[in-house]
Amino acid sequence: MTTTGYFTHRDCRKHEMGAGHPECPERLDAIDDRLLVSGVLDVLDRREADPAPIADIELAHGRMYIASIRGLTDGLREEINAGGPTHAQIDPDTSINVHTWDAALRSAGAAIAATDAVMAGDLANAFCAIRPPGHHACKDKAMGFCFFNNVAIAARYALERHGLKRVAIVDFDVHHGNGTENIVAGDQRILMVSFFQHPFYPEGGSLSNASNLVNMPVPAYTKGEQVRALIEQHWLPRLEAYKPEMVFISAGFDAHREDDMGQMGLTEADFAWITKRIKEVAQRYAQGRIVSCLEGGYDLSALARSVEAHIRVLADI
Q: CB of 201: closest distance to Zn ion in angstroms? A: 8
Instruction: Select from 132, 173, 111 the least CA-distant residue to 22.
Output: 132
For the question of residue 136 being annotated catalytic, the response is: yes
Task: From 315, 252, 289, select the one nearest 167 (Cα to Cα).
Answer: 289
Q: Which stretch binds Zn ion (CB under 5 A): 81-89, 253-261, 283-291, 304-312?
A: 253-261
Nearest to Zn ion of 144, 244 (CB atom): 144
Q: How many residues does the chain have?
A: 317
Which of the following is catalytic: 136, 198, 256, 310? 136
Stretch of 83-91, 111-119, 169-177, 272-280 lying at the interface with Zn ion (CB under 5 A):
169-177
Whether 147 and 141 have beta carbons less than 8 Å apart is answered as: no
CB of 66 to Zn ion, least distance (A): 23
Interaction of residue 305 with Zn ion, rule CB under 5 A = no
Computed on alpha carbons and rounded to an integer, the radius of gyration of the chain in Å comes to: 18
By CB under 5 A, tell whether 254 contacts Zn ion.
Answer: yes
Calpha distance 152→169 (Å, rounded): 8
Using rule CB under 5 A, residue 141 touches Zn ion = no
Size of the site for Zn ion (CB under 5 A): 5
Residue 295 Cβ, how far from Zn ion at the closest point, in Å?
Answer: 6
Q: Which is nearer to Zn ion, 254 or 268 (CB)?
A: 254
Q: Is the dihedral of CA 129, 131, 133, 139 positive or negative?
A: negative
297 lies in the binding site for Zn ion (CB under 5 A): no
CA distance 215 to 266: 18
74: phi then psi, degrees, rounded to nearest 5: -65, -40
Q: Which residue is nearest to Zn ion (CB)?
A: 296
Task: Determine, following the binding rule CB under 5 A, whether residue 175 of this chain makes contact with Zn ion.
Answer: yes
User: 179 or 296, CB closer to Zn ion?
Assistant: 296
- Establish if 173 lies at the interface with Zn ion (CB under 5 A): yes
Q: Which of 290, 296, 305, 312 binds Zn ion (CB under 5 A)?
A: 296
Residue 167, strand partner residues: 190, 246
* Closer of 47 and 176 to Zn ion (Cβ): 176
Q: 109, 132, 252, 288: which one contacts Zn ion (CB under 5 A)?
A: 252
For Zn ion, the closer of residues 123 and 151 by Cβ is 151
Beta strands in 174-245 (DSSP E): 190-197, 213-218
| CB neighbours of residue 15 within 10 Å | 25
State the nearest-atom distance from the C-beta of 237 to Zn ion, in Å: 26
DSSP 96-133: E-TTHHHHHHHHHHHHHHHHHHHHTTSSSEEEE--SS-
Whole-angstrom distance, CA of residue 180 vs CA of residue 184: 6
Cβ of residue 93: shortest distance to Zn ion, in angstroms?
11
Enumerate binding residues for Zn ion (CB under 5 A). Answer: 173, 175, 252, 254, 296
Task: Enumerate the active-site residues.
Answer: 136
